[in-house]
Structure 1
């Protein structure tokens, strides 16, 4: 698919997990359980943050929307139940925090493309309150309450729509009526885009084998916020430059199965974690694109490595090192 197309597209991510945090201590609690500085957020704002183990291994990359009466977390599909159990075990006696899985009672859509804002403006919505990633506000579409957030989940212009499940059909019908050519992305389409963009995914780039500094998620890690789960390890790695491998994009001559070792002159220097074929080659030699971890001492952008029978050139990707989405 053409990622440069001006035509808007939407991705139904309703199968992703949504966890609601309520209670007077909800913001402090989430601040202490994740990498970003949640205490800086006011109602109507949001951010990406990483949930870590005590040894700074990555559990999930989540989006947090701070609202007046609660916080809504958008989490990876396969982390929905494990993450709720993980967070629940850190709620101690006296903590005013309640967790609720609202995945089945809500719906969530990502809208991508430079013209997607115009869809909602054509429906009479004033999106001027949405200025920064994570900003969100309640609106009405087809007389139904919806929440729209600035950000697509990728380093692409876009918006995220969340709403009660009972309003899904009338709201989406109204949106498609306003934008008949709106393209719906399949799960395969999203996977293709997220690899090209460099967004690390659970069970691929985000596992307990890697920490968020290796995943190059520095922009959503606060190094001065104080204690949180995994903070000591992150601080030590950052202070003593202990990151021994990093995540990069790879322009590949052919499709390669994830898990394939990356080698430099016969020596293993990393591993391929994700790969997607390209409908349109990046250049005369690149027919696939992947993500992979490469040892820091081996090099970065411009490095050429062997991946099975394919050759890969290390390139940067938009999402890594950005502010999140």
Structure 2
């Protein structure tokens, strides 16, 4: 069977880093000649071309390698600021990184985000019943966003799911991982064949985002993922270690996400930077989250707001039968019970999250997030506003004297009510 050819490009070491296609199998490599090409006196680019051959079984294991995880050391040496709990906060380039998201490509280390592996024969019906998405209509290699909710459809977190051969992998926010694991474990009954495992510390997670993401994918010979549906993912091998690449960057349907072992993280990170990706820290990522309008736990996602008020239509199925929160969701839709909605706000000045939003002198909502745009030119916020009180373009007041114009934000603008098709 013909396999995709991959050119792994790196000038960091003399050992080639190659991403080799292997969905659940490892390919036996046959390498063409390696050709060293001088770029300048300090840099050399090594190109490796790989071709298909016979296949053997791949043991898809994310066990840590028998060496220290040195990605954070590498980032620190390069000037990145890393917090005591291992979060890459900044590269002192926030404006440059935000500009690259709009006009180029950024790479973000999201390894502090939670990763939950759900396995066992009953994993599909289990997650189907515990979250808002229709897992029974998904096939191996596909993915989706799904919302973790309370029995009354109040929002806990958005989980990005990959349906793999033997498990479903959920990516969740850093602050919710343990509470979600504990909650899901409570709903596993004695006869259920479901196992839930936290694989956060055994793996690394990178997001590649921006309009030039496809160019980097092409340079790595990963063109087969370009243009594929959001959540679609494939498995590869990096020097014998597994790496999964999926469509979408969590914050956007464009871009890509990479799940990999700690042992391969440094090589991949350096390669992405070599190919032109601008590094982005968690501080700039939080700014980008608000600018894009993606809801976050402890801000827009809480027991105060339900999943429909948060506008997360793309993560909800109306046709899959009974699931946690389904009765409330159905009632809200049937009786038009959605009283408020999450909106973007172009602000005249910074405002404190939690501030009251008023319109024509009446309280109509609450600000949940606020940040500066690139270069500090203006401020943008997110907040819940009563549906009948103000709409896009209206001017409201936040707190005592900050004015704000209700605006559309990209993440929420992409959300559409789910289809009534039974397969949705």
TM-score range, shorter chain: over 0.9
Q: Taking structure 2 as the reference length, what is the TM-score of the superposition?
A: 0.72
Counterparts in 2 of 1:37 and 1:111: CA distance versus 1, 3 Å: same
Which residue, 30, 45, 50 being the options, matches 2:142?
45
Which residue, 192, 207, 214 being the options, matches 2:302?
207
Return the alpha-carbon distance in structure 2 between the equivalents of residues 252 and 127 of structure 1: 42
Pairing 1:194-273 to 2, within 5 Å after superposition: 194-273=289-368
Counterparts in 2 of 1:246 and 1:95: CA distance versus 1, 3 Å: same
Return the alpha-carbon distance in structure 1 between the equivalents of residues 101 and 227 of structure 2: 23
Higher relative contact order (CA 8 A, sep 6+): 1
| 1:170 matched to 2:261 | no
Return the alpha-carbon distance in structure 2 between the equivalents of residues 38 and 211 of structure 1: 21
Which residue, 109, 114, 131 being the options, matches 2:206?
109
| 1:36 matched to 2:133 | yes
| 1:81 matched to 2:178 | yes
Counterparts in 2 of 1:53 and 1:289: CA distance versus 1, 3 Å: same
Tell whether the 8 Å contact from 1:65 to 1:134 is kept in structure 2 after alignment.
Answer: yes
Structure 1, unmatched stretches of 5+, are none
Return the alpha-carbon distance in structure 1 between the equivalents of residues 225 and 266 of structure 2: 26
Return the alpha-carbon distance in structure 1 between the equivalents of residues 306 and 406 of structure 2: 20
| 1:315 matched to 2:407 | yes
Return the alpha-carbon distance in structure 1 between the equivalents of residues 273 and 395 of structure 2: 45
Return the alpha-carbon distance in structure 2 between the equivalents of residues 130 and 231 of structure 1: 32
Per-residue CA distance 1:17-48 (angstroms, 9 max, x = gap): 00001100001100100111111110000000
Shift of 1:129: 7.3
Shift of 1:124: 2.9
Kindly tell me the number of residue pairs found equivalent between the two proteins.
318
| 1:302 matched to 2:393 | yes
Counterpart position of 1:96 = 193
Return the alpha-carbon distance in structure 1 between the equivalents of residues 189 and 266 of structure 2: 40
Structure 2, unmatched stretches of 5+, are 1-97, 417-424
Return the alpha-carbon distance in structure 1 between the equivalents of residues 374 and 223 of structure 2: 37
Q: Which of 74-83 and 146-155 deviates more?
A: 146-155
Q: Taking structure 1 as the reference length, what is the TM-score of the superposition?
A: 0.93
Pairing 1:5-154 to 2, within 5 Å after superposition: 5-128=102-225, 131-141=228-238, 144-154=241-251
Shift of 1:2: 2.4
Shift of 1:281: 7.2
Return the alpha-carbon distance in structure 2 between the equivalents of residues 130 and 144 of structure 1: 26
Rg (Cα) greater in structure? 2
Counterparts in 2 of 1:101 and 1:198: CA distance versus 1, 3 Å: same
Return the alpha-carbon distance in structure 2 between the equivalents of residues 16 and 76 of structure 1: 5
User: 1:2 aligns to what SS in structure 2?
Assistant: helix
Per-residue CA distance 1:299-318 (angstroms, 9 max, x = gap): 22112110122100101111
Return the alpha-carbon distance in structure 1 between the equivalents of residues 392 and 172 of structure 2: 30
Q: What is the CA RMSD across the aligned residues, in angstroms? A: 1.7
Return the alpha-carbon distance in structure 2 between the equivalents of residues 188 and 139 of structure 1: 30
Q: Which of 157-166 and 272-281 deviates more?
A: 272-281
Which residue, 281, 284, 288 being the options, matches 2:379?
288
Tell whether the 8 Å contact from 1:125 to 1:139 is kept in structure 2 after alignment.
Answer: no
